[in-house]
Chains A and B, each alone.
Chain A
Amino acid sequence: MENDSPVIYGLEFQTRALSAQTAETDIVRFLVGTQSLKFNNNQVHLVELNEETGGLKTQVFHHPIGEIWSLQASPTEPNIFITCYNTLSDDGSCQMKGALWKLPELKEYTNDVESLKKLADIDVTPHGTDLKTIAYHPMDSTKAVSVVDNKFILWDLTDNGPQATTSGTLASKGQPRFTNGKWNPHNGCNQFVTLNENNVHLDFNVNRQYILSTCGDDGYMKFWDIRSPTEPILSRMEHSHWVWSIRINRFHDQLVLTSSSDSRVILCSIASISSEPFGHIVTPEDDCAQNDYNCKKNKLEDGVVGRYEEHEDSVYAVEWSSADPWTFASLSYDGRLVLNKVPRKYKYQILL
């Protein structure tokens, strides 16, 4: 018996970093990183949803070297992930660094705080100070790109330890800085997109080439065709403040999640830009006449499918589960992780 009510997990720290356990395709699992300026107090939480009972199993790990600003799980190995963290350097100033971690193999979830195995440092400090993200290649866990200041660096993460192989610099007037980056899952995953405008985030549609979505501090979610970048194909304002995260469902790419500092998570259906045909192909027309329900379903319009109000602080991250296409997690600054499902009614509309 499925349960559609949200499952809430509270952390005792401020949080910004959330990732699905990407390589795990059977169990709904998420990783959360905490932000505490008591740098050795930080933690990584592994949260697992028991789909049978709707209950949660959690395991806490130490992340003793700094507050986590970004966390990304390996695309191929469930136990490995990267964090970008802030720590205090010897001269008393803050420094952003990266590290590659491995979860210990545990027989059972424990109430103890376990230790993580740090596989390697990804030291970006020679390249700059303001590390924004270290992003795994979508298929190949030996590659990652970091975005620092006005540079991006391609890392080789093979056994010899992380090696910077390529880097590029954005040079133009007024000290531009990259603010974010993302791999393009198309064209054999050999493109990396960087952003250099304030507080804009993006996601690709893995099923449709050229289509990408952005969100940002104008409160809009926008969809672009990168072949004609002057105007967005579609732009909607559903939130009442900055939109911090936008995620397109990999399996049903009309489902788009956004999270905002207005404390809301909104699930939209943007069928007009999805790779699936508008609704489903219903064979002959008379089928329509027989079944009104089918007809309505096929004309599903773009719009909000769900509005999730369980958070009470800015929601900086939202992620789809890698195991269940209908489950997603959202994380607010006050340390609240909420797991939700796509409304069943809408799920059936997509499936049937």
Chain B
Amino acid sequence: MAENSNNPYDINGQHFNPDMYFQKLLKECTLKQIMDHEAEIIKNTQILHSDMQTLVYENYNKFISATDTIRKMKTDFKEMEDNMDLLAKNMDSITSFSEQISSTLQGTRQQIAKLSSVHTLLKKLQFLFKLPGNLKDKINEENYAQAVQDYIHAQRVLNQYGNMPSFQGIQKDCEDIVQELKSRLRMQFHKRDASTKSLAENVDLLLQLKEPADSLCAEFLTHADERLTEQLDVLKDMCENDIIEFIDMASSGFLSDLCLIVASYNDMFINRPPSEDNEFTDDFDTKATARLNSYIMKNMKKYFDLIGKRVENVADTSILVKALDKFHRRLQAMNTLCKDTDFARTGTNIVINAGRKQCRNHLDNLKSHLSETLVKVRQILTTKTSQEGDNSLAELQALLIMPVIEKIKGVLQDLLVFLQPDLSFSLKTQFLQNFCVDEVREGLIVGFLHHLVITASGFCAGSDIPKFPPTLLLLLSKMCIEFKENNVKYLLTTTDDLFNMKQYTSSGNVITTESEICDKFQEAAQNLLNHYVRIQGLAVSQMLRKSVETRDWLHTIEPRTVRAVMKRVVEDVTLIDTQVAALYDDSDGQVDRSSDSSRKTHSVSVSRHHYRSSWSSYTPNHMDSSLVTNIHKLFSERIEIFSSVQFNKASILTGIIKISLKTFLECVRLRTFSKYGLQQIQVDTHYLQLYLWRFVSDENVVHFLLDEILGSAVHRCLEPVLMEPSVVDIICERG
């Protein structure tokens, strides 16, 4: 800028140097340019000149008019001076008058002031004197709020002058009236129809009257309690009603009231604006809150107890779930009201309990269904004649399994409503996990399967004299096998799929595995089958035993027939065989020999040959007491009598026959035989030989035992002479 302002070439600048400018022009510009520039400068000069003239003229005019104005003002000021003097004079006279007046009136004024103060005092006194009456009137008009206000106004004065006798009277009257007022207000508490709002007002008034807040809280709650108890009683009476109705009633009656009570209580005692001059003690707030909380807890507990009990027995699951949903939703709303307590948890627990109870109910139903089925099957088994054996057993088997499976499937479907996504408690993983895993899977399904195993196994326990048809053991054993092989897997898979088990079991909780349950079923099936074999074996044994024990073997005639008991044994074993065949296959990979009639004779001849090899050459002359048996034993394995049985027909029958023949053997050894007695045993064992081999998997077992029996009879015989084999054949053929 300094440069600019110092620029000698700036035509409008302060330091303009015309010569330098001119020189510069001459140097830089063409002639034409210079000439144009000259014309321009001339024109500018002219404009500036005329502007200057105009300005000078205007300024001159203004100066002249200003001079005129000043001249005029000079004359006006003179006039004003005169007026001011006049005014001063008047003011002086006013002052003197005023002084005159005040001096005159001074005495009276003091009197008036005194009078007026007396007047207000009298007015106050009048208010006080009238106060009792007023209060009464207002109380009668039920304008309690005004009455309280009046009283509070007067109270301070009364307290101050309370020692004067006249005031004492008034104070006493007032206090009496207020006392009555208080009692009236309290009376309101006890009115049944008093609304919560009016109650709140009453409490407010009482608080203003300096009633102890603590006792008011208590009284308020006591009264509220009565009303809630009524509501609960109503609910209790409704327990028989529809559960939805019940829950609705609980929500609209009990819960609404409770909410209202809590809200009023909070407004009255806890959230009071601090501006008012109520002198609550410091810890009143905490005390009042504690009181309220315990009150809420107490009542909610009653409520929960009632609900908990009510939801335990609802037959229709979908209605139950609907009711639980309503209950749970309402409770969530409650939770926002009473912040300090967590009813949602309790509520969820009630839902969980209801779920559990529902599962238990279903479990109980399943159990009783099972026992009914068992009773039915037992009845059929007892009444059924033995002839219609095979087919009806398979039917009974189906009757034992299918309805149970169907029933479980129905139960699972029924329980599925608990998982509907729009339910308020379906968001709670706590509930879902507990319900799906602990209740449905473990409690209901696994629980039932365990019950089934235990029930079935229970038939093994107890005495050997069964109170039920032994076929039942066979059926139950087969049932356990069926469960092990098919149904357990099916039920668990179905359950796991329906109830999203994968989702809930990942978090490390232990669940019963399929194999665990299957093992149990396998074990039960084995025990049942072993027991069946034992029982049937003992039954056949018993016949054989009686037949040996009751006969006088020393004095018996030459045998002409097979003894009836042997035929009976074969019949019984045949019957057992048909029963078992209805449920179990012949041994795996073996030919069904009973259908192969051509083999019968062949096998008999083989066995007869084998049979004779031990004893046919046996005469009293060269009888070596135990050589034959001992040599025989060298080549045969020890026979387990009550050994474990396999799940096929031949193994089962072998077991039964082994037990029976072993008994036969032991009984024979306890007796002494004559020649004919021995020969009767010879005929009998040969008969058994002819008919029993076909039932067993290894006919050598039968041969061995029958050999032992005959051998023992030989030992126990006074005159051991055997019958001609051909004669034995003929007797046996005759049947």
Contacts and interface: CB of A to CB of B under 8 A. Distances in A.
Interface of A: 12-14, 36-37, 86, 88, 92-94, 198, 217-219, 239-242, 261-263, 312, 314, 333-335
Contacts of B305: none
A261 B666 contact: yes
B715 interface: yes
B335 interface: no
B641 A333 contact: no
A262 B641 contact: yes
B718 A88 contact: yes
Nearest to B659: A241
Interface residues of B, number: 24
B626 A263 contact: no
A312 B666 contact: no
B600 interface: no
Interface in B20-47: none
7 closest Cβ pairs, A-B complex = A240-B642, A241-B641, A240-B641, A94-B672, A240-B640, A261-B666, A218-B464
Interface in B408-435: none
Nearest to B463: A218
Nearest to B636: A312
18 contacts: A14-B626, A37-B715, A37-B716, A37-B717, A92-B554, A93-B554, A94-B554, A198-B545, A240-B640, A240-B642, A241-B666, A261-B662, A261-B666, A262-B641, A312-B638, A314-B666, A314-B669, A334-B629
Given A241-B662, A261-B666, A12 B641 contact: no
Most B C-beta atoms less than 10 A away, residue of A14, A241, A242: A241
Nearest to A13: B625
Contact of B625 (A36, A198, A219): A36
Prevailing SS type, chain A contact patch: loop
Contacts of B716: 37
A241 B642 contact: yes
Contacts of B663: 217
B298 interface: no
Nearest to B708: A313
A195 to B, nearest CB: 15
Contacts of A261: 641, 662, 666
B626 A86 contact: no
Nearest to B640: A240
Interface of B: 464, 545, 554-555, 625-626, 629-630, 633, 638, 640-643, 659, 662-663, 666, 669, 672, 715-718
Contacts of A36: 625
A334 B626 contact: yes
A37 B672 contact: yes
A217 B643 CA distance: 16
A219 to B, nearest CB: 6
B717 to A, nearest CB: 7
Given A14-B715, A241-B641, 19 more contacts: A12-B626, A36-B625, A37-B672, A37-B715, A37-B716, A37-B718, A88-B718, A93-B555, A94-B672, A240-B643, A241-B642, A261-B662, A261-B666, A312-B633, A312-B638, A314-B666, A314-B669, A334-B629, A334-B630
Nearest to A39: B718
Nearest to B669: A333
Contact of A86 (B545, B638, B669, B672): B672
Contacts of B640: 240, 262
A179 to B, nearest CB: 11
Nearest to B715: A14
Nearest to A240: B642
B139 to A, nearest CB: 82
Nearest to B465: A218
A91 to B, nearest CB: 10
Nearest to B555: A93
A264 to B, nearest CB: 9
Contacts of A263: 638
A9 B716 CA distance: 23
Q: Which of B545, B666, B718 has the most CB of A within 10 A?
A: B666
Nearest to B629: A334
A218 B531 CA distance: 12
A37 B718 CA distance: 6
A240 B718 CA distance: 31
A180 B334 CA distance: 81
A86 B671 CA distance: 11
A14 B672 CA distance: 13
A8 B677 CA distance: 35
A239 B640 CA distance: 10
Nearest to B534: A219
A242 B630 CA distance: 22
A261 B712 CA distance: 14
